[in-house]
Structure 1
Amino acid sequence: MMTLEDKLARLRTHRNNIHRYHRLIKSRLSDLEREYIESRLSEERAALVSLARTTFPIPFKMPSARAAAPDLQT
C-alpha cells in the first residue's frame, strides 16, 4: 500500500508530465510525433484522475453563489 506521501509524489509527477507534453505540443512536431505526444498526454491525464480519486475519495464541490450568500431580504 502506498503512503500519502508516495501518492502525492506520483500526482506531482503526472502533473509535471502533463505540463511537459503541453509544451511539446506547442513546438514543431511531425504528425507521428504529435500523435504520440497526444496519446501520452491522454494516458497521463487518465492516470492523474485515477490516482486523485483514490487519494482523495471524497468529492469536493464548490457551493453555488446562491447557497453561499444568505438571502438578505426579509
Structure 2
Amino acid sequence: MEANRKIARVLAHEQNIAHYQDLLRTKLSDVEMRFIERRMSEERFAIEMLRFMSRDELPPRSRQTAV
C-alpha cells in the first residue's frame, strides 16, 4: 500500500513538471520563467528524494523525469 502512495506522489510530481514545461512554451517574463524553472527543479528534486528513499519500491525513472 505504501508503495502505491509513493508511486502516486511521483506521478503527481511528473504531472506538475509537464504542466510547468507547457507553461515555459508560453510568453513569460524573466521573473515568471525563473520561478517556473525553480519549481521544476524542486519537483525533480522531490522525485529523486522519493526514489532514493524507496529504491526497492518504485519503478525505474520515466522519460519525463530525465528531462
- With structure 2 as the length reference, what TM-score do the two structures score? 0.76
Unmatched tracts of structure 2, length 5 or more: 61-67
Kindly, what percent of the aligned residue pairs are identical?
38
Bigger helix fraction: 2
- With structure 1 as the length reference, what TM-score do the two structures score? 0.69
Corresponding residue for 2:31?
A: 32
Aligned residues: 58
Structure number with greater Rg is: 1
The higher-RCO structure (CA 8 Å, 6+ apart) is 2
Corresponding residue for 1:6?
A: 5
Q: What SS class does the counterpart of residue 12 from structure 1 fall into?
A: helix
| Distance in 2 separating the partners of 1:56 and 1:12 | 16
